[in-house]
Structure 1
Amino acid sequence: MLTTTAALSALLPLAGANAGLVAEPVRSSAPGAALRLDPVGTYETGVFDESAAEIVEYYAAAARLLVVNASQAKVEVLDASNPASPAKLFDLQTTGVPSADGTTVDAGAVANSVAVREDGLGIVAVEAADKTDNGWLVFFDAGGSGQALGAVRVGALPDMVTITPDGTRAVVANEGEPADDYAVDPEGTVSVVALPDSVAAASQSDVRSAGFHAFEGSALPSGIRVYGGRADAGTGTPAYPVSENLEPEYVAIDQQSKTAYVTLQEANGVAVVDLRSAAVADVWSLGTVDRSRVPLDASDRDGLNIRTFANLRTFRQPDAIAAYQVKGRTYLVTADEGDTRDWDGYSEEIRVGDLGKNGLKPACDAVKAGAGFTGLSRLKITKADGLNAARTCYETLYGFGGRDVSVFTTDGRLVSTTGDELERITAGAVPAFFNSDHGSSSFDNRSDDKGPEPEGVTLGKVGGRTYAFVGLERIGGVVAYDITDPARPQFVTWTDNRNFAVNGSSNLAAAGDLGPEGLTFISGEESPTGRPLVAVGNEVSGSTTLFDVARVGKTNLR
């Protein structure tokens, strides 16, 4: 099906017909950009800053969007047959669903993720009311009317679920976060669930879990951060400290459906899981960004000031990860958001200006004398890394988040990175709101933390080329990179459906999209318009927005 630009205009909402679309989205494109991202329709829950729209998936056979409403432990099912006017059909409620292990999804549960198979088998990852207890996968028919098919028990805090390309398995990242007071810290695991051939629930015997016991002690590769567990919090001595410490976050699977690549965000690593054996085969570090070579804005009190700093590195710590294949070789794309351990029982976060105070070790003299040190006082860093061998002072400062998009080989070799482009692109397009937060419109207030925070990523092919579509959690919007050549990612365009003139807390309907969390690409072959779309769930504004992916100057937009 071919849809021309003129034909698409008939689908666009009239001015004022869809309050969630702002009149003038923020845009920035590279010279000669091949794509344009146009927001065409949105569904609004009207719920501000309660994670009412997080992860979004698309069921092509029924042209439905499945949107995780985490705060209400449900999936909202939307009719997306007219992308200009997505409409709610019904809710899939996960609480109260009986599980194959004899338990029931409890009343205080939280829905975290959703995945759907081509035949309509849907799966929701649900954490228990007490997040340190084991969670569930809830099964449903994405083409049905909301009736759950059943559930199985998986690990603690199942944070992300996906389905292998061949449809035979679900893979779940069980994050295993600690209790706030660190009285309990469950082990992080990855569950591998054999799926039935039909649209039906799996049985409990279909669930196997991969853990990290084999990586205790010296078996753990260098560069993987193990810190801030119960021993550091003073609440116990774990038998398996590495297994408690590693927290699986997000899953990507190769095209052969044999291997899963799972981000360990706080640990700054990736776990490689053999899906046939349901075992962790390898763990490797994502490395750090050398800020003496790659600039960043490190302070929320120095205006727009992107520069380099000696003796400073930042952990990449991606949230989302995606896999694609080029000439038979698999590559991994990461959105390098950054994250910290910041709990009541233990927090690693300090500011550079805190060093040498309140019992903290100081910066070493060479660090204090380094270029830019005086401009770093506001930057958040970790107290867990960087001490010299004598543990008397910090010889390297480690901050959080790469603020970039990276491409890796499956064995952990860095192929390419976008460097400081995201900060420079957003600074150039909207300088008055550079590094704004998502809840309120502001200038420069995220520079001391993790900047624009690239978080979600989805991949898609348009016109024979492969693109990464990345959501910027804080300042907002979707960035498109051409990653056809993994070694040379090229910025294409950024569109932010946000009105910075208003704050979401006071005028949610006029603010547009705030806090993009999950994204999914809809190919032209599966799209109801015949044109590629990107659907985005925005956790702060509680909105789900569809973007038309237009090839500039082209009419065949598949």
Structure 2
Amino acid sequence: MPRALVSGLLTTALVGITALAPAVTAHAATARAAGAIEHSAADPALTLDPVGVHRTGLFEESAAEIVVHYAAQQQTLVVNAAAGTVNVLDSSDPADPQQLFELDSAGIAAADGSTVPAGGVANSVAVREDGLAAIAVEHPTKTEAGWISFFDLSGAKPAALGAVRTGALPDSITFSPAGDFAVVANEGEPAEDYSVDPEGSVGVIALPDSVAAPEQDDVRLAGFRAFEGDALPEGVRIFGGREDAGTGTPEFPVAENLEPEYATVIGERAYVSLQEANALAVVDLASASVERLLPLGTQDLSAVDTDVSDRDGGIGFDTWPVQTFMMPDTLKSVSIGGSDYLLTANEGDSRDWDGYSEEIRVKDFGTDGVAPLCESVAAEAGMSIEELQRDEGLGRLKATAANGLSADGSCYEQIHGFGGRSFSILDTDGAVVFDSRDEFEKITAEAVPDFFNSDNTESSFDDRSDDKGPEPEAIEVGSIGEKTFAFIGLERVGGVMVYDITRPDDAEFVTYFNNRNFGVEDLGADLDAAGDSGPESIVFVPAAQMETPAEGVAGMLVIGNEVTGTTTFYHVKSDLAEDRPGDDPSAPGTEQPSTGPTPTDDPAPTGSPTDGAEPTATPTSTQAPAPGPDGGSDDDSDDRAGGGPLPRTGTDAAILAGIGALLAAIGAAAVWLTRRARC
């Protein structure tokens, strides 16, 4: 055989293997970020193990936001707002998610005679168990009416079915548990200059039984005009409209002001978060009307330890004379023991537009024409106003100038901040059954003290204490065996908190996992090593809805991370249940997990969050050693006798061993062929 041919065959073989090997080793190395944080209560009921990741390669462009799972085809749908589309991944093997195709709504004809234009932005997605998928599409001019586009995913290839028109800025969409309605939160945000401020609304869309698009007549919008004037419940924040911005006098100021954010459905009603208004709307689906508005109250920081300054030189928990609005983003519903509950991720969100901003730092009260703080506020803290407004005190805390002013307008008699820094469990009247209070910040202070309250684009210390702390953003519920769990994503420092909520009035911390590499300072500069940041949404998939769950895997958690543009798949490991395909197909989904144990008759707290017991479990924390110069660990206590990195285990090890054997065989063959060529 000619030597050139031998060389060519060898080169071809090695290139083929080289192209394959990085895909295998990179997957094995990057699913779990170097230095990932795992911090648990004693003997946790479940653990999280990141096994696979899909990367868009885009940083801080919202390339992985809302995620949903379509069990029949083992597909995961991911909103890619950067592209304005929805990516569809094959997640039959969560260790190796692969993009199959994308759903692009541009060019779809709508039932009202319009066409979804290029430049429309996909904000949310939902999928029914029969393969009917719906995408909320924002108009290129966000203050104009948007669309809901529909696709059929049940066949070998996806098919566009049509679209209907909805309200301005459809921000989220969810299906009712029975699949007969789609509920759309039409946020109706103002233009940046407040020249236009459309009314917020909740779209109620009657869906056909078949996999088909509804007609425009099937769309009804539930608005808020019935709550104008004296009909508005006390505690619902109405502020910062066109009148405050000086751009007009609206005929319906309440309807323009309320901005639906997220929805969940219980029976015949939808519950919708009105984040900036610090309230929930209760919508009757049959009549497509808003029945009630439920104000959500405040977190009382005079009774809850909080770090409120990024200039206090460390982690400084203390109490302060501040009432901070809960302002939930995502909410979910769950039935436990025959009772229905709402779970809220209390992120906090201010109105901060060019035409109007409510934001002010506490130290700026009394400056630039803003009324000062009343002396009574400082007296409550046992300080002077000057001491209270120092940077190391309350001075740096972001607050609102829209609330707390005395009746005569002379001074602010109450400081109001943004976000509860917690998650809450509410009954369907909005009363608080449980609130995590200061637990998120205290747990992260133990788990990752060097990067406490870090921002989500750079690894920093104490950067967000003055501004909503960890910012709980995403929330999900799921049942394993007889227990029900809440999964809460922290937008800033990152990671997911897991709580056992089987007793809703006595929820308990289980574990915290943060798949972020804090050794990377600028996450955008090294996305491959950065891990995950900015969890925007979470979906729990029971083991019975997975294709081939491994031993000990009770479900799958999928997290869309908007900052790093990653969709990460976790095995949820637990011995609470041994669900497998072929078991009871009524395993819980993401809206209504199955009934768990009935709560005890202990009285539950009501109203705004109040004092509660500190968690009694003793947390334990582990952090993977940082990689050394050779790619191994700086901590050589677990190294093999010969040094170097630890061996891989399981499937990855088998694959890599096979590749090694194949390379060795190719090498041996090449030597033999070379010798023959010389003969």
Q: What's the TM-score once normalised by structure 2's chain length?
A: 0.79
Shift of 1:146: 3.5
* 1:137 counterpart letter in structure 2: I
Within 5 Å, give how 1:222-301 maps onto structure 2: 222-254=234-266, 256=267, 258-301=268-311
Quick check: which has more Rg, 1 or 2? 2
More helix by proportion, 1 or 2? Answer: 2
Q: Does 1:414 align with 2:432?
A: yes
Label 1:554 to 1:275 Cα distance change in 2 as closer, same or farther (>3 A). closer
Shift of 1:529: 3.1
Give, in whole Å, the separation in 2 of the partners of 1:160 and 1:472: 19
Q: Tell me what 2:535 maps to.
A: 516
* 1:493 counterpart letter in structure 2: T
Q: Tell me what 1:480 maps to.
A: 498
* 1:35 counterpart letter in structure 2: L
Label 1:176 to 1:554 Cα distance change in 2 as closer, same or farther (>3 A). closer
Q: Tell me what 1:491 maps to.
A: 509
Shift of 1:555: 7.5
- Alignment check: 8 A CA contact 1:64 1:78 kept: yes
Partner-residue secondary structure (3-state), 1:71: coil
Shift of 1:311: 2.3
Q: Does 1:202 align with 2:214?
A: yes
Give, in whole Å, the separation in 1 of the partners of 2:440 and 2:151: 38
**More divergent stretch after superposition (387-396 vs 297-306):** 297-306
Q: Residue 539 of structure 1: which of 562, 572, 575 is its match?
A: 562
Label 1:280 to 1:16 Cα distance change in 2 as closer, same or farther (>3 A). closer
- Alignment check: 8 A CA contact 2:542 2:555 kept: yes
- Alignment check: 8 A CA contact 2:146 2:166 kept: yes
- Alignment check: 8 A CA contact 2:94 2:569 kept: yes
- Alignment check: 8 A CA contact 2:491 2:535 kept: yes
Tell me the alpha carbon deviations over residues 51-106 of structure 1, each in whole angstroms, 9 at most, x when there is no partner.
00000000000000000001211000000011001000001111221111111112
- Alignment check: 8 A CA contact 1:293 1:308 kept: no
More strand by proportion, 1 or 2? Answer: 1
- Alignment check: 8 A CA contact 2:273 2:329 kept: yes
Within 5 Å, give how 1:328-367 maps onto structure 2: 328-367=338-377
Partner-residue secondary structure (3-state), 1:532: strand
- Alignment check: 8 A CA contact 1:311 1:367 kept: yes
Q: Does 1:395 align with 2:405?
A: no
Q: Does 1:157 align with 2:169?
A: yes
Q: Residue 529 of structure 1: which of 531, 548, 553 is its match?
A: 548
Tell me the alpha carbon deviations over residues 482-529 of structure 1, each in whole angstroms, 9 at most, x when there is no partner.
111110111100111110111221101110111000111101110123
Q: Tell me what 1:440 maps to.
A: 458
Q: Residue 134 of structure 1: which of 123, 139, 145 is its match?
A: 145
Give, in whole Å, the separation in 2 of the partners of 1:528 and 1:397: 52
Label 1:18 to 1:200 Cα distance change in 2 as closer, same or farther (>3 A). farther
Shift of 1:463: 2.1
* 1:292 counterpart letter in structure 2: S
Q: Tell me what 1:322 maps to.
A: 332
Unaligned runs of 5+ in 1: 1-11
- Alignment check: 8 A CA contact 1:304 1:434 kept: no
Shift of 1:31: 1.2
Q: Residue 196 of structure 2: which of 179, 184, 202 is its match?
A: 184
Tell me the alpha carbon deviations over residues 198-237 of structure 1, each in whole angstroms, 9 at most, x when there is no partner.
1111110100010001100110111100000000000000
Q: Residue 73 of structure 2: which of 53, 58, 62 is its match?
A: 62
Tell me the alpha carbon deviations over residues 146-202 of structure 1, each in whole angstroms, 9 at most, x when there is no partner.
432110000000000000001101000000000000000000000000101111111
Give, in whole Å, the separation in 2 of the partners of 1:550 and 1:306: 35
Give, in whole Å, the separation in 1 of the partners of 2:129 and 2:255: 34
Q: Tell me what 2:45 maps to.
A: 34
Q: What's the TM-score once normalised by structure 1's chain length?
A: 0.95
Q: Tell me what 1:48 maps to.
A: 59
Q: Does 1:460 align with 2:478?
A: yes
* 2:239 counterpart letter in structure 1: Y
Give, in whole Å, the separation in 1 of the partners of 2:188 and 2:176: 22
Give, in whole Å, the separation in 1 of the partners of 2:75 and 2:27: 24
Give, in whole Å, the separation in 2 of the partners of 1:402 and 1:306: 18
User: How large is the Cα RMSD of the aligned pairs?
Assistant: 1.5
Q: Does 1:556 align with 2:556?
A: no
* 2:465 counterpart letter in structure 1: S
Shift of 1:557: 5.8
Q: Tell me what 1:215 maps to.
A: 227
* 2:182 counterpart letter in structure 1: A
Unaligned runs of 5+ in 2: 1-22, 581-679
Label 1:215 to 1:16 Cα distance change in 2 as closer, same or farther (>3 A). closer
Q: Tell me what 2:126 maps to.
A: 115
Give, in whole Å, the separation in 2 of the partners of 1:342 and 1:316: 17
Shift of 1:15: 6.7
- Alignment check: 8 A CA contact 2:315 2:452 kept: no
Give, in whole Å, the separation in 2 of the partners of 1:16 and 1:549: 19
- Alignment check: 8 A CA contact 2:74 2:92 kept: yes
Partner-residue secondary structure (3-state), 1:72: coil
